[in-house]
Amino acid sequence: MTIEAAPPYSPMLHNDRLPVYIRLADTGDASFVYKSWLDAWWVQNKDQYQPLFFKSHREVVKGLMENAVTVIACSNEDPNLIFAWACGLRTKNNR
């Protein structure tokens, strides 16, 4: 006899809405976005000289953040509890 466990919890099925709030990034988020972005790039590029890598890529990230839209996925109860972020430029067709 096989005993089935309860079905896995699915926020999409079991809640009226997800407990996630999507907001535009503000200046207080900049250090978090910079650090996580640079750290993610560094993990993939450890063969490069670290001080030069961070210096040059910091300028790239700065330029992207100044010219792009950055959004933050955070807790709807605590906007400082960040789950994820995305940064991107609008295309010519506004997508």
- In tens, the pLDDT along 67-86 reads 899 999 999 889 999 999 99
Predicted model pTM: 0.69
Cα–Cα distance between 12 and 20 in angstroms, integer? Answer: 12
pLDDT band for position 48 (cuts 50, 70, 90): confident
